[in-house]
Every structure is written in C-alpha cells, then in structure tokens.
Amino acid sequence: MFKIGNIEMKNNIVLAPMAGVCNSAFRKIIKEMGCGLIYAEMVSDKGMIYNSQKTKDMLYFEECERPIAQQIFGSDKSTFASAAKMVEDIMHPDIIDINMGCPVPKVAIKSQAGSALLKDPKKIRDIVSSVVKTVKVPVTVKIRSGWDTNSINAVEVAKICEEAGASAITVHGRTRSQGYSGNVDLDIIKKVKENVNIPVIGNGDITSLESAKKMIEYTGCDAIMIGRGVLGNPWLIKELVTYFDTGKIIEKPSYEDKINMCFHHLEYLLKIKPEKTAVLEMRSFVAWYIKGLPNAQSVKNEVFKAKTSDELKKILNNYLKVLKNSI
C-alpha cells in the first residue's frame, strides 16, 4: 500500500507523465497492467487560463484510470494556482502535480518553466504554497537533481516543497543540462529521501526488474516512477507489480503478445481521436512494440507509410503470419 495525502494506491509503481505519449489510450493499457498511480501528460497553465480547447481536451480520462494525477507546467504563481483550480474543477483528478523537471528548451528556456524553476527556490516556495492553498486534492512536485552539475539542489528544493505543503516529491536523478544522457544519480534520490518526511518517488533509468529493485533498495524511495522503460513494453509494469507482490517472475511477452497489443492500443486510440491522428500516433507505438523482432525495420518502414487503420491492421496481420511461419 502506497499513500499520497489521503489517496491510497494498490502498489508503489507509478507511470511518468510523458508528453505526447500518456494520453488516455496509453494510460488505460498501463492501468490494465496493474499500475498503482497514473500521471497524465503535462498541460500548460497558460493554456488553461486562456481557455485553449486543445489544452482542455488533454484533460480527458476515464474512471478506470484512477487514481490519476494531472501535471501542470508554468512559471507564475498566480496563473499556476488559477490553472490548478480549473483543472480540479473540470477534471477532478486525485492529485495535481507541479512540473519542475522538464528539460526541453521549449519549456525550460523559452517559457522559464519546468526545470528552470530549480534556479529560483523562492519562486518554488511561492508556486507550491499557492497551489496547495488553492486546491483541495494533494499536490505533488516533480524535480530533477538540479539545473546543472554546479547547482545540485534537489535536497534544498525538496525541503522547500515539503514546507510549502507538497504531499510527495518525485526526483529524477539527472540535471537539466544532462537531459536524458548519462546515468541516473541514485545518490541524490537517496539524500532527498533522508531529508524529507513526505513520500519520495524515485525516477530515472528504470527499464527492468533489476533496475527497479536497485532504485528501491539503494535509495529507500517510497515508490518508483517509470517513463521510457514502458515504451513498447507495458508488460514491465505487470512484471514489477507481480514480483513485488508475490516474488514471482512472469514470462516475457511473446511476439504474438506484442502484435496483439498493437491492435489493442489502436482500438483505444480510435475511440478518442480522429482516424488520421490515431494512425499517426500509432505508427510510433508500433515501432516501439516490434523493436527487436525479426524484420522489424522493414515492417516499420511499411508502418510509417500507413494512412488508415485498415492499412495498418493489414501490415500487422501480414507481419504476424510471417512471424508464425519463421519462429
């Protein structure tokens, strides 16, 4: 049992809020694998304030996805708080998360949001405090180890977030300047855990059972957040949930499992998006699902030419037949 504020999760496995990936279709698949807590992809505070329909559409979710956290990014305490209130009123999420970890230039440099906030501890306190006072649901914060190697301040930031009323903190053990390169720094996650009393969620480089165990055992973190490790491999969630619950190791997915998941995922996407958009998105997911399978590259080339769901299904069905005859 894992708890954030008054929200209880069945386990301590958490889905990261990956932009452009974590829409309702993908989240439902991850939930079916047993994930304890789902984080939806970030929305802009300005997008909410200016009543952007595109931003509001990103708040769509289904009840089966609960408990769910909605992440928001921005750089101003007043717009942040107002946006958080709007999200709470429209979506009714279980948790609201403040993004202070996104490293991409569009967010961190152009908007001075995301990980750029790590350079301004006072602003961090103001934003977290303002959001906590404005909404009724628990507020969490996602951070990195620091802006760069000369300003590792995750412990200081975590303490500030706790003092300002945050109910939990997620730490990605890399600096903003690292992006996703190099190795995750487990020591900084461990230090944060040792210095705060709220739950700490460890994040970064969790791609297997071994790396998940190492994150928990070394850092002492209360939960683990998984992002890129589930792209093409949502079964990782099931593997971790099963192991930590029973100690048993489940079988790896077969090629049939992977192709069938493509069909399943496409079906979910078609329910929430126009066919053209759903197929465009699904092409990338198919590439992730079939990675490592025989002739994957040539099939991927075909997939990226598909314009309709029928074309995509035909390619996948043909590929399944080829695999059955060759494996």
Start-end of H helices in 71-207: 77-91, 105, 121-134, 154-163, 186-195
Residue 74 CB partners (closer than 8 Å, separation 6+) = 44, 45, 46, 80, 83, 111, 113, 127
Catalytic residue among 22, 102, 161, 221: 102
In angstroms, the CA 241 to CA 119 distance is: 36
In angstroms, the CA 105 to CA 51 distance is: 24
Q: Six-digit token pair at 18? A: 């990956």
Which residues make beta-bridge pairs with 98? 72, 141
Q: Six-digit token pair at 100? A: 């202070």
Catalytic (active site) residue 102: yes
Q: Do the beta carbons of residue 206 and residue 231 sit within 8 Å?
A: no
The catalytic site residues sit at: 102
